[in-house]
Amino acid sequence: MAHIAKYQSGAIGHMCALYENEAMQANGYNLGPKRLISQVQFISKRISALALKRHVRKDAVRLCDCIVTLPRSFDDNREREFFKTAYTFLSQRYGVDNVVSAYVHRNSSHPHMHFAWIPVTEDGRLSAKSVVTRLELKTLHPDMQRFMESSLGCKVEILLDSEKAGERILSGLGLKDYIDAKAELERLDSEIAEKKAQLNEILRQEHEARKRLAELVCSAEQEDTEGD
C-alpha cells in the first residue's frame, strides 16, 4: 500500500509538477497544507530555515514521496477518509512542518496519494539516509496498518495483491537478504518515478516546440500572402 521514493534537486521540479498536473486531470485533490508559495519554493524555504552546519550537497535528497494506494478491498465510498487518515499518520511520523503536499491521484486503476515531505531528522538535519532507514522501511507498513485500523475501525490491507505475491517470495529469504531486497525495490521504484518525470518534461518540451513551429509556419504563410 505504501512505497517511499527519494529525489535529489534535479527531479524536484518535475515531481512537483507531476503531482499537481495528474491531480488536475481526474478530479484529484491535495490534502496537504494550503500555501501561497509553490511546492518548490516551500522546499527551498524549509531547508534554508534549518540550522545546518554545512551547505547542502548537490546530490542530497531533498524530497521523499510515500505513495499510498487505496486497497481494492476497502470501501470506495470512504476514499477521502482513508487518505486523510493516512495523511495524519504520515505527517505525525515525518513531521507536520516538513510536509510539502499530499496529492491524491484518481486517474489510474486505483486511487493513490503522493505524500511528499522533506527528510528532516529530529535534531534538524537534512538526511534521508537517517530518516528512511532499513528499519523504517521494515516497520512502516505494520505501524501504518495498526494506526489505520484503529482510526477507521475496520480491517485495512496494507499490501496490494501484487505486493503479497512478492512478499511470499521474499519471506523465504533471511532477514538481511529480505531487508536488502526491499531496499532495492524501493530504489527501483524511485528510479522509475524519476525517469517518468523526466519523460513527461521531454514530452512537454516537444509539445511546446511543435506549437512554436506551427506558429512560425503560420506567420510565414501570412507574410507570403501579404507580399502577393
CATH (domain of 189): 3.30.930.30
Higher pLDDT, 24 or 36: 36
pLDDT at 179 over 80: no
Task: Specify the amino acid at residue 112.
Answer: H
pLDDT band with cut points at 50, 70 and 90 for residue 62: very high
Per-residue model confidence (pLDDT) at position 214: 83
Per-residue model confidence (pLDDT) at position 177: 59
Number of domains observed in the structure of the chain: 1
pLDDT at 166 over 70: no
What is the rounded average pLDDT of the residues 72-99?
94
Among 98-112, 135-149, 155-169, name the most confident range.
135-149
Dihedrals phi, psi of 95, to nearest 5 degrees: 100, 120
Q: What Rg value do the Cα atoms of the chain yield, rounded? A: 21
CA-to-CA distance for 75 and 77, rounded, in angstroms? 5
CA 49 from centre of chain: 23
pLDDT band with cut points at 50, 70 and 90 for residue 227: low
What is the rounded average pLDDT of the residues 40-65?
89
Domain range for 161 is 2-227
Per-residue model confidence (pLDDT) at position 108: 63
Per-residue model confidence (pLDDT) at position 100: 97
Helices (H), the chain: 9-25, 39-49, 79-94, 128-131, 134-152, 161-170, 175-227
pLDDT at 172 over 60: no
Query: Which CA distances in Å does 135 have to 141, 142, 215?
Result: 11, 12, 55
What is the rounded average pLDDT of the residues 50-59?
82
Per-residue model confidence (pLDDT) at position 161: 39
Non-local CB neighbours of 219 within 8 Å, separated by 6+ positions: none
CA-to-CA distance for 14 and 18, rounded, in angstroms? 6
Among 99-103, 109-113, 179-183, 194-198, name the most confident range.
99-103
Per-residue model confidence (pLDDT) at position 178: 53
pLDDT band with cut points at 50, 70 and 90 for residue 159: low
What is the rounded average pLDDT of the residues 30-51?
93
